[in-house]
Structure 1
Amino acid sequence: MGLLRTIFIIVLVWYLFKVLGRIFAPILMRFAAKKAEQRFGDQFEQFRNQQQRTEPKKEGEVTIDKIPNRKASNKDVGDYVDFEEID
């Protein structure tokens, strides 16, 4: 009797979860989409404000914001082996 009761409770919870999921899923998706839209809008506004604060550049002018770190190559890594294809 306990096994049938446990199976019945599991099936009941499963169907309850499916019904509630169908009801609340669209609401949750709308909320997530609205939050994502708000975040993208905020990032766009920050980018636009940053672009407006900087002085306009002449056409063709090149600026470097960050110089990449140059790493010295290690020549003692290993030997170069030339491979040939064998048919």
Structure 2
Amino acid sequence: MQTASFSGFIKALFYMVAFYYIFKFLAKLFLPLLVKKVVEKAGQNFQQQQQNAQDNSSNKTQSKDEVIYNSTNAKNPRETKKVGEYVDYEEID
């Protein structure tokens, strides 16, 4: 069984502080590059989705689609859900 020593504590503390500053330095170097790459990728995905949507909409306008109108729904609109009656209470003196 090993016991803790003051020199071991100082050594562990030194490693933690060194790791913190090294990580902070590397984050300043590489994080902006990583964020730029992610933003560019998101922009490309957005443009691709827009292009696909435009292609799909132009294909739909070119083809002749039949529109069916159901007149039964127009005459009888859907009723709102009735929860219950409203009861007005009066205070009695």
TM-score of the superposed pair, with normalisation by structure 1: 0.65
- Structure number with greater Rg is 2
Aligned: 1:55 with 2:55:
no
Distance 1:39 1:27 in 2: 18
1:4-23 alignment, distance < 5 Å? 4-23=10-29
> Structure 1 pair 32/71, CA: closer, same or farther in 2 (3 Å)?
farther
C-alpha distance in structure 1 between counterparts of 2:34 and 2:40, whole Å? 10
**Change in 2 beyond 3 A, CA 1:81/1:13:** farther
CA distance in 2, matches of 1:14, 1:81: 67
- In structure 2, stretches of 5+ residues that fail to align are 1-6, 68-77, 89-93
**How far does the alpha carbon of each residue in 1:24-82 deviate from its partner, in whole angstroms, 9 at most, with x for none?**
011101110111111101111011101210226xxxxxx8xxxxxx6862x3x455466
Summarize the Cα distance change of 1:15–1:79 in structure 2 as closer, same or farther, 3 Å threshold: farther
> CA 1:81/1:27 → structure 2, altered by over 3 Å: closer, same or farther?
farther
Identical amino acids, percent of aligned pairs? 32
Within 5 Å, give how 1:1-87 maps onto structure 2: 1-55=7-61, 73=81, 75=82, 77=83, 80=86
Q: Which runs of 5+ in 1 are unaligned?
A: 57-62, 64-69, 83-87
How many pairs are equivalent?
70
C-alpha distance in structure 1 between counterparts of 2:27 and 2:57, whole Å: 44
Distance verdict in 2 for CA 1:23–1:78, change over 3 Å: same
Q: Which runs of 4+ in 1 moved over 2 A?
A: 77-82
